[in-house]
Structure 1
Amino acid sequence: MTSQPSPIHIGIDVSKASLDIALGEHGPVQRIDNTPLAIRAWLRTLPSGPLHIGCEATGTYHLALRDAVIKAGHPLYLIDGYRLSRYRGATSVRAKTDPIDARLIARYVAKEGSHLRPYTLPPEATQRVQQLLRRRATLVRTAVILRQSLFDLPGFKREVRALLAKADRLAQQIQAQIVEKLKASDWIDDHRRCQGIEGVGPLSAAALCATFHRGAFKSADAFIAYLGLDVCVRQSGNQNARGTLSKKGDPEVRRLLHNAAMAASRSATWKPFYQACIARGFSCTQALVALARKIARVAFSLMKTGSQYQPREHKNTCAQT
């Protein structure tokens, strides 16, 4: 009986121009260019046998590495920077350089790999819709800054109006592309179902729809946790503080859900629920978060069952919200 070879744990620190790759916690570190050509060439040099590859998720700089590793058939573990920073402190690593971070990632994958899930690529439509939503949000924020900064500047009113009009048209074009992508992916029915919920507009519905089709969620709780709207318990001794949100999901989706909750809190359907949260001692923000979670649960149920939204008055809060 032959023994199974031990897996090789590889840690990769990602920057815009280069990748620092550590073969194990104490292994050698090599640097390659962060380009698809260099990454594919490096993958061809890897030894045969089980490989567990980890890298830090850094905006868009890790995308070429992510796609190449998954296409090569190797499990990839994406680690967010906050978690890696806390792990660095917990292991008493005082210095921070790219090679040290690469070895730290290799150590993290080796020690915590049994509790991690390999990353899976989302559907292309999900990636595209999320990308468009983020770009539109950036455009709108920039337009607001320009409007506030230039509205009282004498001699440029015509130019400012023209610039803001162009930004508004571009935002509308992006929103139209989002709808077209949903139609092309046969998700438009789910988009309409979500829009039936009070407070949920086209953008919030698109975010919910794209997230739902990201993967097969076992339950509404799993969906809520993926959105980062799950509550982390804070209890020690006799202290039992009110929990905080994990905020592990896409912040743009949470922002859109918060806006949807603000609109829904004024509707006849959801106003009693919002007021019940306030009566329990919730702040306005906490009540809106609870309402956003409730809306996300309803949207998940509609898309899961393929049913149509039936408005009803929600008066009471519950443990799940």
Structure 2
Amino acid sequence: MAMHVEPSLIGVDVSKAELVIRQSWSSNLVKLGNERKAIDSYLKALTGPVCLAVEATNIFHVLLIERAHALGHAVYVIDGLRLKRYRESIGGRAKTDASDAALLLRYLTHEKSDLRPWTPPPAGYATVQRLLRRRSVLVQTETTLRQSLQCLPELKASVRAMLARMKHMQHLIDQRLAQTLKRQGWKGDVRRCQGIEGIGPITAAALTLIFHRGAFKSADAYIAFIGLDVRVRESGTFSGRRKLTKKGDPELRRLLYMAAMTACRSSTWKPFYERALARGLSCIQALVALGRKLARIAFALLKTQSDYVPKVVQVA
């Protein structure tokens, strides 16, 4: 009978230049340069099954988790806010690279059974995500500049030229995005999402991207990944204010909110929006609820690979 071997646990604090590592089998702190040669040398020297806990740190943790996963190690990427609250819950006061590595190791030791191992996103995921984020920055910057410079009529011609150039850059990003979606074979999924009232090509691309990121068991899991699920606070007779968890990409939540603003004026979704207002929800809350509904329908279409039929929604 094969002997069950418990995996060794590792907590890794990541910065741009350095990795600080705390290991479950040693009290010694290990420091590595955050570059491929040093990472590969360390990971290949490990024996037996190993689980690593890494805090999500911009893009600086990506090389480590990709190399660890490629070598067969289990990787857990921990949300920074969750780790911060965990530190506070155990009375932690210091925050150093060494203490963060130890905290990650402790978190993994006690919470591993409730964590989901990280898996690499599908090919093309990073490209689509990067294009959507850069487009978002460009659009927000354009809006800010237009509003800020409109009070300077003497610069009207220069501002017009600058905004036209930014529009051209946005067009180039849209072209690149469409090419990438086609290359990935996701154009059909984007088309399905666009059939829903209020959802345009960018929102459809973002919904498709998230759908292909993981194997979601249900629409609830999909909604939670987006961060549109509701945090409930109740104890005895106390019922606290319910808020969105806001986990996941904030840009997709913004896109869904904008989609809901358009959808609420359609004949299909206006009754849903008005019923939400009648229940006492504010305009913002009603739009969030509608955005969540649109995301659920998008998930159903992508899951079943079916086309949107408005009459189905009207009957429901």
C-alpha deviation, 1:315, in angstroms: 7.1
Moved more, 148-157 or 211-220: 148-157
CA contact under 8 A between 2:21 and 2:29: conserved in structure 1? yes
User: 1:120-146 CA deviation, whole Å, 9 max, x = no partner?
Assistant: 111122222111111110111122222
CA contact under 8 A between 2:8 and 2:25: conserved in structure 1? no
Distance, in Å, in 2 between the alignment partners of 1:272 and 1:77 is 43
Which residue is equivalent to 1:37?
37
Distance, in Å, in 2 between the alignment partners of 1:262 and 1:171 is 22
Distance, in Å, in 2 between the alignment partners of 1:300 and 1:82 is 27
CA root-mean-square deviation: 2.0
Distance, in Å, in 2 between the alignment partners of 1:311 and 1:98 is 53
Amino acid at match of 2:127: R
CA contact under 8 A between 1:55 and 1:77: conserved in structure 2? yes
Q: TM-score, normalised by structure 1?
A: 0.93
- Report SS of the residue matched to 1:117: coil
Distance, in Å, in 1 between the alignment partners of 2:146 and 2:64 is 39
C-alpha deviation, 1:316, in angstroms: 9.8
The correspondence of residues 246-265 of structure 1 with structure 2, limited to 5 A, is 246-265=245-264
Distance, in Å, in 2 between the alignment partners of 1:154 and 1:284 is 36
Which residue is equivalent to 2:73?
74
The correspondence of residues 97-116 of structure 1 with structure 2, limited to 5 A, is 97-116=96-115
CA contact under 8 A between 1:261 and 1:291: conserved in structure 2? yes
Which residue is equivalent to 2:169?
170
Distance, in Å, in 2 between the alignment partners of 1:250 and 1:128 is 15
The correspondence of residues 160-239 of structure 1 with structure 2, limited to 5 A, is 160-239=159-238
Distance, in Å, in 1 between the alignment partners of 2:198 and 2:83 is 37
CA contact under 8 A between 1:13 and 1:99: conserved in structure 2? yes
Amino acid at match of 1:191: V
CA contact under 8 A between 1:220 and 1:297: conserved in structure 2? yes
- Report SS of the residue matched to 1:229: coil
Structure 2 unmatched runs, 5+ = none
The correspondence of residues 1-321 of structure 1 with structure 2, limited to 5 A, is 3-24=3-24, 27-46=27-46, 48-153=47-152, 155-312=154-311
- Report SS of the residue matched to 1:10: strand
C-alpha deviation, 1:95, in angstroms: 0.8
Amino acid at match of 2:116: R
Amino acid at match of 2:226: L
C-alpha deviation, 1:181, in angstroms: 1.3
Seen in structure 2, the aligned counterparts of structure 1 residues 198 and 12 have a Cα distance that, compared at 3 Å, is: same
Amino acid at match of 2:246: K
User: 1:260-290 CA deviation, whole Å, 9 max, x = no partner?
Assistant: 1111011111011001000001111111111
C-alpha deviation, 1:31, in angstroms: 1.8
CA contact under 8 A between 1:77 and 1:117: conserved in structure 2? yes
CA contact under 8 A between 1:24 and 1:107: conserved in structure 2? no
Moved more, 9-18 or 149-158: 149-158
Distance, in Å, in 2 between the alignment partners of 1:126 and 1:230 is 23
CA contact under 8 A between 1:272 and 1:315: conserved in structure 2? no
C-alpha deviation, 1:174, in angstroms: 1.0
C-alpha deviation, 1:150, in angstroms: 3.0
Amino acid at match of 1:286: Q
Seen in structure 2, the aligned counterparts of structure 1 residues 242 and 154 have a Cα distance that, compared at 3 Å, is: closer
User: 1:170-220 CA deviation, whole Å, 9 max, x = no partner?
Assistant: 111111211111111111111111111100000000011111112222221
Moved more, 261-270 or 218-227: 218-227
Q: Among the aligned pairs, what percent are the same residue?
A: 51
Q: TM-score, normalised by structure 2?
A: 0.94
Moved more, 59-68 or 260-269: 59-68
Distance, in Å, in 2 between the alignment partners of 1:315 and 1:240 is 33
CA contact under 8 A between 1:276 and 1:316: conserved in structure 2? no
